[in-house]
Homo-oligomer: A and B are copies of this chain.
């Protein structure tokens, strides 16, 4: 059996009871940290879970996924993944491959930035549109894709969650702003919310014009950005004004 266990947003105590049971019962425990990151060390995970954990690299879940699936045919294999395991399409591909080969698959869900973002920003979850990722420039080329997604979402008056690239190093909000400035066509004039370390005790949420978010000190990663919809519900506005240091001019968005 192949079990994907979500580790949630922050540390070793965000695992569920069901997830921990699966870890304790497994023949072999793997973890991958390239589709998402925790703020806790591998050592600490091993100590708290009482298991040795082997790190999977990207290739182990992509080109070489057959090895993992074959191992799960004979053994009880757990793969630990920060956040919710099925957010990354990499993992759904492995699930597909395993199921197709008749290997039993189990997914133990957990919190993900995709759902937690509403809570920390006070924004209504049903008003979020498509999600996008801001990537590092590739061979000097900056992708416009995330700004296209923002434009799509603005056309239906929806918020946009922008996740920031994790590899080789987790991108900061300041880096994201400076990358997107190269391809901006006015999107950076919109209001946005920068969030850091969602789900941890020292999380930070700041609302400002998108282009100004880079001037705030968000501290350590992980960072994400929400570009606000064309209008805000009054309670969304009040929350951002009160707890995200939003400028008074944000009021112009209230419908």
A residues with a Cβ closer than 8 A to B are 6, 8-9, 12-18, 20-21, 84-87, 89, 91-93, 95-96, 99-100, 107, 109-112, 114-116, 118-120, 122, 124-133, 152-153, 155-156, 158, 199, 235, 238-239, 242-243
Q: Is the interface of A mostly helix, strand, loop or mixed?
A: helix
Q: Is the CB of A128 within 8 A of B130?
A: yes
Q: Is the CB of B153 within 8 A of A84?
A: no
In the bound complex, CA of A87 to CA of B133 (Å)? 22
Within the complex, what minimum Cβ distance (angstroms) separates A237 from chain B? 11
Residues of B within 8 A of A100 (CB): 242
Q: Is the CB of A199 within 8 A of B130?
A: no
Q: Is the CB of A96 within 8 A of B132?
A: no
**Cβ contacts A to B, 20 pairs, < 8 Å:** A8-B109, A12-B17, A13-B16, A15-B16, A16-B110, A17-B17, A86-B119, A89-B235, A95-B122, A107-B120, A107-B199, A109-B115, A110-B111, A111-B115, A114-B114, A114-B115, A114-B125, A115-B115, A126-B130, A130-B158
Residues of B within 8 A of A89 (CB): 124, 235
